[in-house]
Amino acid sequence: MNNPIIWVHGDCLSPEGPAFQAHPDAPGIWVWDDALIDEWQLSLKRMVFIYECLLELPVVIRRGGVAAEVVAFAIESGANQVVTAASPSPRFQDICQEIRRSISVEVLPPEPFVRYDGYIDLKRFSRYWRVAEKYVF
């Protein structure tokens, strides 16, 4: 029997995301990634935006090492699988690989907001939006 948890990350902060659509009753987790916050120097404004998005999701919010916290939450929940949405981030791949050492991971493709195959700088929303808005409207 499939008994998953949902790992929510910064590239899929929507209740309409593929993991919630596939498993609407599964518990979810978000982990504030201290290393990523330091590396990307996330602003307080961006972190507040993320937090406000999280308030609309059925997730437990934790802080620390992402893979370790996701695995711990899966164990606490009696889950046998972690389900999440795909991300283009190399860090995402590393975290998935680390989680897979302990539990199965299913990565679902999100519905793209825009269809664009070129490079977009994802560290700043304004840089992303300058490219994306041409394809949205």
Host domain of residue 67: 4-112
Mean pLDDT taken over the chain = 89
Angle CA 65–9–68, to nearest 5: 25
Asked whether residue 131 carries a pLDDT value surpassing 70, the answer given is yes
Question: Does any domain span residue 124?
Answer: no
Q: What is the pLDDT of residues 5-64, one digit of tens each?
A: 999 998 889 899 999 999 999 999 999 988 878 877 888 898 899 999 999 999 999 999
Whichever domain contains 11, its CATH number is: 3.40.50.620
Q: Residue written as tokens 């090492």?
A: 65
Report pTM. Answer: 0.81
Question: Does any domain span residue 107?
Answer: yes
Of 72, 67, 102, the closest CA to residue 84 belongs to 67
Question: Does any domain span residue 131?
Answer: no
Question: Does any domain span residue 128?
Answer: no
Tally the domains of the chain: 1
Question: Does any domain span residue 88?
Answer: yes
Question: Does any domain span residue 123?
Answer: no
Question: Does any domain span residue 98?
Answer: yes
Please tell me the predicted confidence (pLDDT) of residue 116. Answer: 67
Question: Does any domain span residue 129?
Answer: no
Note whether 111 and 18 are within 8 A (CB): yes
- The secondary structure of residue 122, as a DSSP letter, is -
Sign of CA dihedral 94, 15, 69, 40: positive
